[in-house]
Chains A and B, each alone.
Chain A
Amino acid sequence: MALADARTGSGEPPKVSLLYNPALRSVVYQVVTLVVIIGAVWYAWNNVVQNLARANMTAGFGFLNSRAGFDLAQALIPYSSDSTYFRALQVGLLNTLVVAAAGIVTATIVGLLVGVGRLSHNWLIARLCTIYVEIFRNIPPLLVIFFWYLGVLALLPSIRTIFQNLKEDPNAVFFISNRGIYMPAPVFGEGFGVVLVALLIGIVAAIVFTIWANARQRATGQRPPVLWINLALVVLLPLAVFIVMGQPLTLDYAVPGSFNMKGGMVIGPEFLALYLALSLYTASFIAEIVRAGIRGVSHGQSEASYALGLRPGQATRLVVLPQALRIIIPPLTSQYLNLIKNSSLAVAVGYADLVAVGGTILNQSGKSIEIISIWMLIYVSISLITSLFMNWFNAKMALVER
């Protein structure tokens, strides 16, 4: 017993020199690292201020309230050359977000289709998907952007040709030109808000109904016609309200102006080139990730689901995909972040994204350090928010162990 007591001791570690105490050492290392980092930052900042003072320049963000003086082609919020630099940056940020969001949605859909297509038993589809992946994966994204901008969109009919065609066919409302795609713009009349409210109610009702239907299926085994009832709630209800309210929606058509089409809505070739290039480029990577994810699910899983009597579609949807998603989501997050960052290539084709607008401001005001800090802060924030969301989604999809 005495021996056992001696071995277990009183729970204290053996006495060692302070120099070799692991707990103390780790604390010391961390403190030293922290001091070095703070010192480096302080040194850099101090140098910046001193050097700027020497060059008769000032540091600070006050310049953001100055008048911008330049116009922007694509602005989702009211903007003119009288607006401030800060406003211009907001326009740029919004443009970045729009192209990134649209790109992520399209890249995901195309990537999913192509990734599944590569596994198809149809020889032609599988080969076409392989060719797609190998082409877009192996070309730098900047070249893909130029390909769309100068190789495809610039070759579309000129605005003069459109004017000519309109004389022959005055009823046309939808035009594709090398200045972008023109289409009618919706003008919301009085009472359209009620339709929106109806749509909202329809969506909420559909969600509630789906939850109830699922509960009922679990309880009784009977499945109500969820699809049809949901469609009716989301589409027919707002449509009925729309008609009752006297159709409070008119269209503003694009008509020929002096140099360009006037009115209507236009999607510029700069946006299109960037959006198409980012989507199709990233989709090729997503396709490979999807393929790897599906391949990563043991074949026995599909066989087992067939044995249970599931049809192939159901087996994929209910058994294979949920497991594949666990493999897919983490690398997918990286691709989303890549797409967001690649959107800064916009500057090459003159799409007014955050970097393009910031660059102009930098050039006019000479505030390099401030603008670069703003760029970095914003990109880090967008990326971290995307990561947070994807991590949450990943946790939700992860295997729940009981």
Chain B
Amino acid sequence: MNETRFKNVKALPSTHLLGTGTPMCAGCGGLEALHEIYDILGEKSVFVNAAGCMTLLAIYPFTPFRGSWLYTAMASAPAGAQGIRDALDILLQKGQITPKDDMQVVTLTGDGAAYGMGMSATSGAMERNLDFLYICYDNEGYGNTGQQYSAATPHAAKTTTSCGPQGFFGFKKPLFDIWAAHRPAYVATVIGAEPLDLARKIEKAKELKGPRLIIALSPCPTGWDFDPREAIEIGKLAVKTGIWPLKEYVNGEVVHTKLPKKRLPVERYLEKQGRFAHLFTPQRNEELLTEIQERVDRYWAEMANP
């Protein structure tokens, strides 16, 4: 699909569909992305949620959604999507509902579920070619419980379970690659700070059938330790430094949708967040900073010459 409704930022929806007054933190990058996604996706949708921050969006008897919602459990939201999608198909087939009562089935989970506990259920859903949209708001840690490291935590980040001078010993799991290896209809990375790129991807995903999976990097003021007003800037820096490549997998190919012309040094992104403060004070940890920069450089070099 080459034609997009969204030629420029002025074409983006000017009002939000998702209600306000949720208990999400001020400056939540996940909620920002969800607002933007929901505006494009629309209210003919049912959100199937796994345990995480966004479980608190719908608290009895209120919901910010205009469509439907089902909370499942941490590990099995994609299986909940399977049950709903299959049931809707059965009802359509039997003529017990009309197509106007059909809807997009959307799985909404954090990185804890997407990168870890729910991975088996997601893999199963892709293998069964389930027609659903998966949105992972990725704040790179178990944020709802106070930011312990998860399989999505980047190398060297300080979390409440990785507080040593080297931060997190592990490396962020390549979820995009793992998902794409299943050859689903669509995989994309997005970030709320780049709303045009995000809107075009959701627009595209909405028109496709089959498994469509979106990872939204979600700057997290409480978990990453920054002032909420910096959320957008940090999101933009994640893209400009090349740390969060915006890309999509479609028709068997990976395409980068926003190439940072001149990548900024990763420091510019890291220095804004308390979780990386130990890389700069009391003295600079040149070794780790270089290691992080080199890893990003290597990614883009391999991307240019695959």
A binds B: no
